[in-house]
Amino acid sequence: MTSHDPARPVGATISHVVVPGTFDPVTLGHIDVIRRARRLFPRVTVAVAASVNKNGRGTTFTLDERVQMIREAIALEGLPPDVEVAPFTGLLVNFCKEIGAGGVVKGLRAMTDFEYELQQADLNSHMAPDLESVFVMSSPQYGYVSSSIVREIAAMGSDVRILVPANVAERLSERYA
């Protein structure tokens, strides 16, 4: 008896992964995960979820704004220009299949992240058995950073430049002026 999944050839490698998220807004923690994914895999697509009903209220920035901010941040933060950014709606597994990605990379900050992401990975595995989930631990300097904390701090008029790329800090300053 073997535990090998016949859908996955032995020795098969993954050359294209997706780093998904709402990125409302993108933080330096997100950029760190994207950078690390690119070190591990030759092709990375940052998948920006529409998330029209996130937290029952929608997102702070539109999908187009979030895609543009990530593209600008990738350039500002010195990531390779071959990191792609694409919006998506619907199921992540369907998006991965459409673009030919063999894996999903997610950053984990704490045990609560792990519990949520493990549930998502298990569900994705049932829907797309050939799609791998890869988790990277948050770098210590970003373990406390989240988009919701960034939005809250910015809404109170405080400086968020140590938490987000410069272009995002500027957009947040404009949004909450």
The string of DSSP codes covering 39-66 is HH-SEEEEEEE--TTGGGT--SS-HHHH
Tens digits of per-residue pLDDT, 95-113?
Answer: 999 999 999 999 998 777 8
Q: CATH number of the domain at 29, please.
A: 3.40.50.620
Task: Tell me the average pLDDT of the chain.
Answer: 91
Q: Is residue 152 part of a domain?
A: yes
Q: Is residue 4 part of a domain?
A: no
Model's pTM, two decimal places? 0.90
Task: With CA atoms as reference, report the closest residue to 166 among 106, 97, 76.
Answer: 76
Report the distance separating Cα 138 and Cα 26, nearest Å.
Answer: 15
Report the distance separating Cα 177 and Cα 171, nearest Å.
Answer: 10
When divided into structural domains, the chain yields a total of: 1
Contact between 167 and 73 under an 8 Å Cβ cutoff? The reply is yes
Tens digits of per-residue pLDDT, 1-52?
Answer: 344 455 556 667 999 999 999 999 999 999 999 999 999 999 999 999 998 6
Structural domain for 72, as ranges: 16-175
Q: Is residue 10 part of a domain?
A: no
Q: Is residue 6 part of a domain?
A: no
Residue positions annotated with a catalytic role: 30, 54, 109, 147
Report the distance separating Cα 78 and Cα 2, nearest Å.
Answer: 44
Q: Is residue 169 part of a domain?
A: yes
Q: Is residue 44 part of a domain?
A: yes
Q: Is residue 8 part of a domain?
A: no
